[in-house]
Structure 1
Amino acid sequence: MDELENLIGKSVFEIDSEIINSLESINFKVAILEYKYKNCGIRYPANPLKLTLIDYTNVITFDELINFDKIFIFWHFKDQITDLEIFDISSDLNNLKSDYDLIVSKIKNGQAHNIRQGDTKFLAAKRLDETVFIDGKKVNKREFVLKKSYLQKILKEIRFNY
């Protein structure tokens, strides 16, 4: 753990593939997440956490999508690592599964174009700029992501651990 703690204060570009591979080998999802500050000084995630591209014709199963127990997060601000966090997602699995089921049901019912991020709590199908045709309908490509609001919940948990 000392090797990881030594990264605090350093550039995110110093996180090498060996560290990432080691964490993934023990069933962690590794996330390098940037945060920004609101005018009132509260930190917030800059982007959602991308999990995988959605293949409309062969949707990944929930167990393949969420094939990790914990997320190891390198939080950074302006490319400088400020915090390390291990977040256990086990208490959120039911919500993640429910979100997944809603997204997949819309895809299977030919409603991929009607997926809204507001329909789900933690997991979303983020719209990408590129489009494809599914059953004759023009649909934006999408990717499964953990929503910024979910990441905000995670970020708030470490805010008071100083």
Structure 2
Amino acid sequence: MNGERWVPDDLPSIGDLAEMAKLLQDEQRNGTLYVRWSKGPAVDLSADSRSRDELTGVSLPGLSANPLRVEPWWGDRPIELWLARRLYDYRHLGEQRGPSVRPWVLAGRELGRGPDNEPLVVCERPIAWVADGVLREAEQLVAEQGSADWGPLDRRQHS
């Protein structure tokens, strides 16, 4: 890529959590995968696009994203449940930032940490959009866990 940012015109979509789990297993050999909630790689990979700290407005040195890598302590638990949590945590961003904001998966490299300790990454390769059906499946899988004390990381919610 030699400094150029290539963004495919038609990024494929991930259709369900099983497909996303397979992608994670296949791609982990080639780098770290992240999920990012935004208007997509065409916007995010423009020359001057960066994430900003919403509290202070400070421009961050990379794009805010969340790693999909499964931690060793997860053991033999289903990868689909791990991914459901990763998607569920930030699902409010689609509602909060508008209808054109969606999750997409990218292969990237961490440059630092943001104000919420989230990875700030450079996108090395856009992989796929996450379809709405995957988000519904993730929400259902999380609900099936029956934990009343656990929910999304939405700052707007007050207890």
TM bin, normalised by shorter chain, reads under 0.3
Structure with the greater relative contact order (CA < 8 A, sep ≥ 6): 1 or 2?
2
TM-score by length of 1: 0.27
TM-score by length of 2: 0.28
Give 1 or 2: higher strand fraction.
1
